[in-house]
Structure 1
Amino acid sequence: MERPEIYTDNYNSLEEWIELRKRNEEFVYPQFFVPFREWMKDIEQKSDMEIKELLRILLQPYTLGVDTVDTYEFYKEYVQDKVNKEKNLQTYELCMNQLKYNERIYRIKNKQEAWEGLTWVLPLLNINPMKALKALGMYFDAECIYMPDDRIYGISDAMDIIEEKYIKSASDKNAYIFSLTSREFEILIAILYEALGYKVNLTKATRDGGKDIIAEINENERKEKVFVECKLYKTCELKKETVRALGYTMLSEEATRAVIFTSGYATKALKEMDTRIQIFDMEEMILLLNANLGERWYTDFERLKSNFVKN
């Protein structure tokens, strides 16, 4: 879906556009999506405050000029007239059912904003940005049929911004992981699995037969017993003997599947060696940590570790 190329001429930069949108004293287009996509190139240098200021604009509640009860009544009359001409009652029932399940109509009737605000996802960005993405995705699925283009692009921009800033950001996290002890690395991954909803058992810090963490979940139809092995390497490549040993352990102790987290290098062939075993390298691991513990997890690790040990 191509974006419109007709913008208002009362701004020349993103900063000017943001200021106009914040003041809300004159019309500006676009209202709810970012007019300068090249801004995304430097997103990692933008502060948390700058990012959230922009997201508040993209996700604020609003009502368009056509979002009125009169428009709703006009549409009903239009459909009724069309049905009378075509003698097709099925068309009328179909259109009326669509309106009946359109929550926007009820909000308009109750004198609320036609399009609800989504700024309530912002507190999730530093804790669990993946939940924020899922929330925006669900909102889009529920409302996209009636959603104006401006809002469609805005939701898309918001999701791109969250993914680039709060999930894909790596910065100095590699160095931080290398600074951990092997046990701290295991605790970090155990905390990740707790955030994913698993009950976690961290095995003793001894030779354990190829598993550092046992992660279990038993919710409705989801039942899993996952063996997790953590390999903190500075320069070493993950070896096939490690993968094979974990596979034997998983089989003998009836685990559902197994996962290896490694700060070292894992070849494509090694990742495909055993379909029951998933291997996450440094880049993939940081994406998971960012998504489920928040982009600043590494500055908060001591508190997270303390809470984990207490529990």
Structure 2
Amino acid sequence: MAKAKKNKPYFDASTVSLDEWLSMVFTHEHKRKFRFVDYHFPTDSHAIEYLTNIETRSDFEVKHLIRSFLIPPGIQGHDHQFFHHWKDTGDIINVMRSIEFARRLFREEGWEGMTWILDLLPDWPQQAIDALDAFIRAHTLYLSDGRVFGLSDAISIIRHKYLLSINPRDILNEVSARDFEFLISALFRNQNYQTQITKQTRDGGADIICTSVNTPIRQRVLVECKHHKGTIGVEVVRTLAGVVGESGSTSGWVVTSSKFSLPAVDFASKTGRVQLLDYEALNLKFNEYFGARWSERLSSIISQEQRLQASQSTEGA
């Protein structure tokens, strides 16, 4: 089969449109009349066009394309060049002891493959990206340029489809201000903090007090939640910065379902102790820590955090 594939004429896929190339990619290998680049986008223009309109693409199509870009299990065409080089130079034994890839080649196993990362999608896109990034770092010396391009393209597709696609602003506006606090508390809890939501009748301070878990130096982080449709001004940031300083906390976060004014962003950057999360940044965080379908799980995320907070209150009583 491999020989038959090599005997097919080569076609320059950079000369066709994106839709024409996708049609070629999605044609079964046995039915293809040509050999062509199917393990990365033919040109940057093809990539930009696909990523720009990726929200219109189905999960099935996106996963199919990602699969084409991933390293399949087995030995690739250029792999034997490394093996013969190590053998000819007399380094094969030493190389096998120090490089796992060389050992796999010697055993005719080749690449272990990366198609398993598809099982992380759509729920855990950041973990899929991290796995691909680690794979590239570990094997960059043994991957062809085309394969590196393909894995990088796969990362871009995952990022645009599953990390950047949802706009949470309208979704977050539908929850109550108190439920928004529970949601943000759950977000910090997933980032390895112990969280305590303060009473609604508080006078000053912050909405959530976060304490780091299993860190060399204990971090105390104050979080102010602003569930608003309007722009958050500098006064909110200035007030939290003062509370952080007076309480001896490590840092503070202002989190909003809306956006911040330019003076607020400028003041926060100058303090060095207050970070800002608007609705766009929250989208990335939610996708990373709750999965790409977090909006479907919104009620369960909030209710689970409510139970955890109630349990903490009972234990502390």
Q: TM-score, normalised by structure 1?
A: 0.81
Corresponding residue for 1:265? Answer: 259
Q: Does structure 2 conserve the Cα–Cα contact (< 8 Å) formed by 1:8 and 1:28?
A: no
What does 1:16-35 align with in structure 2 at a 5 Å threshold?
Answer: 16-21=24-29, 28-35=35-42
Q: CA deviation at 1:272?
A: 2.8
Given the superposition, is the C-alpha separation of residues 117 and 77 from structure 1 closer, same or farther in structure 2, using an over 3 Å criterion? closer
Corresponding residue for 1:217? Answer: 212
Q: What is the Cα-based RMSD across aligned positions, in Å?
A: 2.8
Distance, in Å, in 1 between the alignment partners of 2:34 and 2:140 is 24
Q: Does structure 2 conserve the Cα–Cα contact (< 8 Å) formed by 1:20 and 1:28?
A: no
Q: CA deviation at 1:193?
A: 1.4
What does 1:116-127 align with in structure 2 at a 5 Å threshold?
Answer: 116-127=112-123
Q: Does structure 2 conserve the Cα–Cα contact (< 8 Å) formed by 1:136 and 1:155?
A: yes
Q: CA deviation at 1:73?
A: 5.4
Which of 29, 53, 62 in structure 2 is aligned with 1:42? 53
Q: Does structure 2 conserve the Cα–Cα contact (< 8 Å) formed by 1:210 and 1:249?
A: yes
Q: Does structure 2 conserve the Cα–Cα contact (< 8 Å) formed by 1:166 and 1:291?
A: no
Distance, in Å, in 1 between the alignment partners of 2:281 and 2:160 is 14
Where in structure 1 are there 5+ consecutive unaligned residues?
Answer: 81-91
Corresponding residue for 2:298? Answer: 301
Corresponding residue for 2:155? Answer: 159
- 3-state SS in 2 of match to 1:138: helix
Given the superposition, is the C-alpha separation of residues 217 and 121 from structure 1 closer, same or farther in structure 2, using an over 3 Å criterion? farther
Corresponding residue for 1:243? Answer: 237
Distance, in Å, in 1 between the alignment partners of 2:203 and 2:138 is 48
Give percent identity, aligned residues only: 29
Distance, in Å, in 1 between the alignment partners of 2:151 and 2:87 is 32
- 3-state SS in 2 of match to 1:205: coil
Given the superposition, is the C-alpha separation of residues 302 and 156 from structure 1 closer, same or farther in structure 2, using an over 3 Å criterion? same
Which of 260, 265, 274 in structure 2 is aligned with 1:277? 274
Q: Across the two proteins, how many residue pairs are aligned to each other? A: 288
Matched AA of 1:303: S
More deviation, 176-185/280-289: 280-289
Where in structure 2 are there 5+ consecutive unaligned residues?
Answer: 1-10, 309-317
Distance, in Å, in 1 between the alignment partners of 2:164 and 2:258 is 19
Corresponding residue for 2:21? Answer: 13
Matched AA of 1:155: L
Deviation sequence 1:237-276 (CA, Å, 0-9, x none): 2232222221222122221101111233312331231220
Q: Does structure 1 conserve the Cα–Cα contact (< 8 Å) formed by 2:163 and 2:284?
A: yes
Q: Does structure 1 conserve the Cα–Cα contact (< 8 Å) formed by 2:129 and 2:155?
A: yes
Q: Does structure 1 conserve the Cα–Cα contact (< 8 Å) formed by 2:86 and 2:95?
A: no
What stretches of structure 1 move > 6 A for 4+ residues in a row? 8-11, 24-27
Q: CA deviation at 1:219?
A: 2.6
Distance, in Å, in 2 between the alignment partners of 1:220 and 1:98 is 38
More deviation, 217-226/279-288: 217-226
Distance, in Å, in 2 between the alignment partners of 1:216 and 1:128 is 25
Corresponding residue for 1:52? Answer: 63
Matched AA of 1:64: Q
Matched AA of 2:85: Y
Given the superposition, is the C-alpha separation of residues 66 and 128 from structure 1 closer, same or farther in structure 2, using an over 3 Å criterion? closer
Given the superposition, is the C-alpha separation of residues 154 and 200 from structure 1 closer, same or farther in structure 2, using an over 3 Å criterion? same
Deviation sequence 1:27-59 (CA, Å, 0-9, x none): 733242133422222101112222222222222
Deviation sequence 1:273-307 (CA, Å, 0-9, x none): 12200112222222222222222211111122222
Distance, in Å, in 1 between the alignment partners of 2:104 and 2:203 is 58
- 3-state SS in 2 of match to 1:300: helix
Q: TM-score, normalised by structure 2?
A: 0.80
Q: CA deviation at 1:78?
A: 3.5
- 3-state SS in 2 of match to 1:304: helix
Corresponding residue for 2:105? Answer: 108
Given the superposition, is the C-alpha separation of residues 6 and 185 from structure 1 closer, same or farther in structure 2, using an over 3 Å criterion? same
Corresponding residue for 1:74? Answer: 84
Distance, in Å, in 1 between the alignment partners of 2:114 and 2:290 is 21
Deviation sequence 1:50-102 (CA, Å, 0-9, x none): 2222222222334213434xx5553135435xxxxxxxxxxx7xx97666433
